[in-house]
């Protein structure tokens, strides 16, 4: 492995289009990516890739896109997205993606905030979202449509098609791209990523060319397998997210990973099945969803097959526990279970060839992670933020790491926990390659990026030293493991200072220690501001409890409530796919989401799921009551309490479902006290 510091420094002086040119000269005929089109995976070599980028660059230049101007791209991950993106970058323009699920109001906000001169829409659906404001946005000059198949009868003067863009670029080649790329200042802005704010408007994090490449390189150093062998992966995460960009654009340039684009996002299961990726980066939601479909499938299969699966899972659990404790495990017995059951199981999903499955973007519930590991997938979790410019803050490594931590920092990156009163335990990161600042918001930039160079993540963490007892599945009855009673349980206490012993036996090691300390790993506790303090004064981490609940295949989303309240309650969104399967299997009649959500049988099902999770929680952490949301949360709808990445906006959620929330709390006591006090406060 090359020296990290020199590699970072070298990349800091480049931009992505330049890396593309270099790669196209070095291995012109190697496959850079494959994009499915009309049933066939079109192979693009590095030379073709660079040629297409050159054409899109010249086309964009012909539309008048200049240095420092912004271009917004809206759509699912597709070939043209990255061609437009790199084309614009090679002109020195700044690109930003808009979430495909963003509502019209969010689109308008980001168009105004970013001030894009060109809006690229994947198809007619996104054109409709912008067209309403098209004339009200003074800076918007052109709207470019990639897939114009539904664009008849549209004749807005700003509209152009992607094909026309290409014609404008006619035969631009590698030399032209190189000339453009060399003229780009690596310290200038490359792209903006809008962070999905769970409170307030999204903030646009500006990232420069060099910083992004050097930051993303830390992933390649952290997961050297990416550069050692050729790998197949599937690019499906939204490219406007920095994680999606890393996977589809930057990591392929820095490693030997070949991304595959499916025909459409809806076909993801099919795309995964066909491509059979060897490396997959994902967000926890997909792993939960796939796993719950598998479990529902197993529950509905024949007795013989189910028995085989259950036997294999028992073997897998014992094997995994041994592996986590640093032993060899069950070796041939587990290998047989894997061959006979887990490999065919994973083959149906297209995931049996995975060497590395990395989840990031949100906390991965330990139960889910353990389940994938039982199936024999080398699953690990990483932790990063948009503000780290495409690099990771920490990541688990090796083979089958124990769930519960997010691993250690990559070479050259410093991570520590804050010691101050206000933000005790907050994770701080330092590297030369962080984001540049929030677009048009220097105040927020100062708040996040302190004078001392440490980036404030807003997340609370603690250090754990392996072998730590972090994995929930290792100790607790999860919903897939046999139910056993564990007295005592474990309270997810917020960090209370250094050296203090935690209830379940691991010590929070001091954040800055000597060089010969045992390897320490970071464990995420929660967002700084998300802690719940109950009226009894207990500080609880809602995300910990929520993850436990979300591990149920029937729960799509859950929000735990309890701030300033007597006890915890939860709002639950059922997973329509799995619950409707469940209902069909039991002849429960329903007409749609709402009727299913209100069905008493379904209520009992969720009650059982919550009771199961409660069994693994300390008394104060237990969810005492819950309500099922009568409708599915849809990020595309105006004013919905979820972000485009489906993160719950807590305050808005409580506001929207106030009646449901209040109905879970008993107000007799307050009324009694109010009656006792009478109108003494109002009497003059």
Partner 1 sequence: MTVPRASGYFRTRYAEDFALLDTRTRKAWAALFAAALLVYPFLAGPLALDLANQVLLGAVGAVALMLLTGYAGQISLGHAGLLAAGAFTTGILFKEFGAPFWVTLPASALVGAALGLIFGLPSLRLRGLYLAVSTLALHFIVIHLGAEYETKRGFSTGILVDPPSIGGWQLYDARAWYFVLLAAAAATVLFSLNLLRSKTGRAWRAIHGREAVAGALGISVHRAKLSAFVVSSMLTAVAGCLFAYFRGFVSVEAFSLFLTIQYVAMVIIGGMGSILGAVLGTVFVILFPYFIEWLMEAAGLAEELAAVVFAVNYSAFGLVMILFLVFEPQGLVGVWRRIQAWFLMWPFKQKPLAGTK
Binding site for partner 1 (CB under 8 A): 34, 36, 39-43, 260, 266, 268-269, 272-276, 290, 293-294, 296-298, 300-302, 305-306, 308-309, 341, 344-345, 347-353, 577
Which CB, 36 or 209, lies closer to partner 1? 36
Query: Residue 523: which H helix or E strand, with range?
Result: strand 521-527
- Beta pairing, strands 568-574 & 555-561: antiparallel
Dihedral of the alpha carbons of 237, 440, 391, 25, in degrees to the nearest 10: 80
In the bound complex, what is the minimum distance in angstroms from residue 260's beta carbon to partner 1?
8
Which CB, 180 or 371, lies closer to partner 1? 371
Residue that the structure tokens 């408007």 belong to: 201
Which CB, 253 or 291, lies closer to partner 1? 291
Strand order in the sheet with 257-261: 40-45, 31-37, 257-261, 231-234
Helices (H), 350-416: 366-374
- Helix then strand then coil, % of the chain, to nearest 5: 40, 20, 40
Which CB, 166 or 273, lies closer to partner 1? 273
- CA atoms within 13 A of residue 129's CA, in its CB half-sphere: 30
In the bound complex, what is the minimum distance in angstroms from residue 413's beta carbon to partner 1?
35
Reference 417, options 528, 505, 543; nearest CA is 528
Which CB, 201 or 347, lies closer to partner 1? 347
CA 545 – CA 335 distance, rounded (Å): 34
CA 340 – CA 338 distance, rounded (Å): 6
Which CB, 309 or 413, lies closer to partner 1? 309
Which CB, 214 or 283, lies closer to partner 1? 283
In the bound complex, what is the minimum distance in angstroms from residue 307's beta carbon to partner 1?
10
Residue that the structure tokens 């056993």 belong to: 484
Which CB, 9 or 307, lies closer to partner 1? 307
Tokens of 600: 């008493």
437 phi and psi, to 5 degrees?
165, 165
Residue that the structure tokens 């009568």 belong to: 630
In the bound complex, what is the minimum distance in angstroms from residue 574's beta carbon to partner 1?
15
In the bound complex, what is the minimum distance in angstroms from residue 345's beta carbon to partner 1?
6
In the bound complex, what is the minimum distance in angstroms from residue 44's beta carbon to partner 1?
11
Which CB, 245 or 319, lies closer to partner 1? 319
Which CB, 272 or 610, lies closer to partner 1? 272
Name residues whose C-beta falls within 8 Å of residue 432's C-beta, 6 or more positions apart in sequence: 8, 12, 211, 214
In the bound complex, what is the minimum distance in angstroms from residue 350's beta carbon to partner 1?
4
In the bound complex, what is the minimum distance in angstroms from residue 596's beta carbon to partner 1?
16
Q: How many CB atoms lie within 10 A of CB 266?
A: 10
Is the omega angle on the peptide bond into residue 552 within 30 degrees of 0, that is, cis? Answer: no
CA 496 – CA 539 distance, rounded (Å): 11
In the bound complex, what is the minimum distance in angstroms from residue 605's beta carbon to partner 1?
19
Under 8 Å between Cβ of 362 and 283:
yes
For residue 372, CA distances in Å to 267, 380, 399, 414 come to 22, 10, 13, 30
In the bound complex, what is the minimum distance in angstroms from residue 376's beta carbon to partner 1?
14
């Amino acid at each position: 492995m090359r020296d990290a510091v020199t590699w970072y420094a070298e990349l800091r002086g480049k931009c992505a289009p330049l890396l593309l040119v270099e790669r196209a000269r070095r291995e012109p005929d190697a496959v850079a990516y494959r994009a499915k089109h009309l049933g066939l995976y079109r192979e693009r070599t590095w030379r073709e890739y660079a040629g297409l980028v050159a054409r899109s660059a010249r086309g964009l230049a012909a539309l008048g896109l200049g240095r420092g101007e912004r271009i917004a791209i809206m759509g699912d991950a597709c070939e043209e997205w990255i061609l437009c993106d790199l084309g614009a970058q090679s002109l020195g323009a700044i690109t930003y993606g808009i979430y495909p699920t963003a509502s019209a109001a969010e689109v308008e906000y980001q168009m105004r905030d970013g001030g894009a001169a060109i809006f690229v829409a994947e198809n007619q659906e996104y054109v409709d979202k912008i067209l309403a404001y098209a004339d009200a946005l003074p800076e918007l000059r052109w709207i470019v449509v990639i897939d114009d198949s539904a664009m008849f009868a549209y004749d807005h003067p700003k509209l152009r098609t992607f094909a026309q863009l290409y014609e404008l670029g006619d035969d631009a080649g590698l030399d032209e791209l190189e000339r453009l790329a060399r003229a780009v200042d690596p310290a200038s802005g490359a792209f903006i990523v809008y962070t999905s704010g769970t409170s307030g408007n999204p903030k646009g994090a500006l990232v420069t060319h060099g910083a992004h490449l050097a930051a993303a390189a830390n992933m390649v150093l952290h997961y050297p397998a990416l550069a050692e062998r050729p790998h197949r992966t599937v690019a499906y995460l939204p490219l406007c997210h920095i994680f999606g960009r890393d996977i589809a654009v930057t990591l392929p340039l820095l490693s030997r990973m070949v991304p595959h684009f499916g025909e459409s996002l809806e076909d993801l299961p099919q795309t995964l099945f066909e491509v059979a990726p060897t490396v997959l980066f994902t967000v926890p939601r997909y792993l939960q969803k796939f796993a719950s479909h598998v479990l529902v499938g197993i529950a509905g299969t024949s007795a013989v097959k189910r028995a085989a699966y259950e036997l294999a899972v028992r073997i897998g659990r014992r094997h995994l526990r041994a592996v986590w404790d640093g032993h060899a495990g069950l070796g041939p017995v587990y290998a047989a279970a894997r061959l006979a059951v887990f490999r065919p199981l994973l083959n149906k999903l297209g995931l049996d060839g995975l060497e590395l499955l990395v989840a990031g973007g949100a906390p991965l519930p330990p139960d889910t992670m353990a389940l994938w590991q039982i199936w024999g997938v080398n699953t690990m979790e990483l932790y990063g933020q948009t503000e780290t410019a495409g690099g990771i803050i920490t990541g688990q490594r090796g083979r089958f790491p124990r769930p519960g931590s997010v691993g250690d920092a990559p070479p050259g990156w410093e991570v520590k926990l804050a010691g101050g009163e206000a933000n005790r335990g907050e994770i701080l990161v330092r590297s030369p390659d962080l984001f540049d600042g929030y677009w048009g918001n220097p105040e927020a930039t100062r708040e996040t990026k302190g004078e001392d160079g440490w980036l404030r993540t807003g997340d609370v963490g603690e250090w754990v030293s392996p072998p730590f007892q972090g994995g929930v599945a290792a100790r607790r009855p999860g919903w897939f493991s046999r139910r056993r009673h564990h007295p005592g349980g474990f309270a997810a206490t917020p960090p209370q200072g250094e050296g203090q012993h935690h209830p379940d036996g691991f010590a929070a090691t001091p954040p800055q220690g000597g060089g010969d300390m045992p390897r320490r790993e970071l464990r995420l506790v929660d967002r700084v501001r998300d802690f719940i303090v109950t009226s009894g004064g207990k500080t609880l981490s809602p995300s910990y409890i929520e993850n436990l609940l979300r591990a149920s295949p029937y729960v799509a989303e859950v929000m735990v409530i309890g701030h300033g309240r007597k006890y915890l309650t939860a709002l639950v969104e059922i997973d329509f796919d799995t619950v409707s399967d469940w209902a069909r299997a039991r002849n429960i009649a329903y007409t749609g989401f709402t009727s299913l959500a209100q069905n008493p049988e379904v209520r009992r099902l969720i009650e059982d799921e919550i009771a199961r999770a409660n069994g693994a929680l300390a008394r104060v952490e237990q969810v005492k009551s819950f309500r099922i949301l009568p409708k599915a949360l849809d990020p595309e709808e105006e004013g919905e309490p979820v972000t485009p990445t489906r993160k719950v906006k807590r305050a808005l959620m409580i506001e929207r479902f106030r009646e449901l929330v209040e109905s879970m709390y008993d107000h007799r006591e307050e009324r009694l006290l109010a009656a006792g006090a009478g109108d003494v406060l109002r009497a003059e």
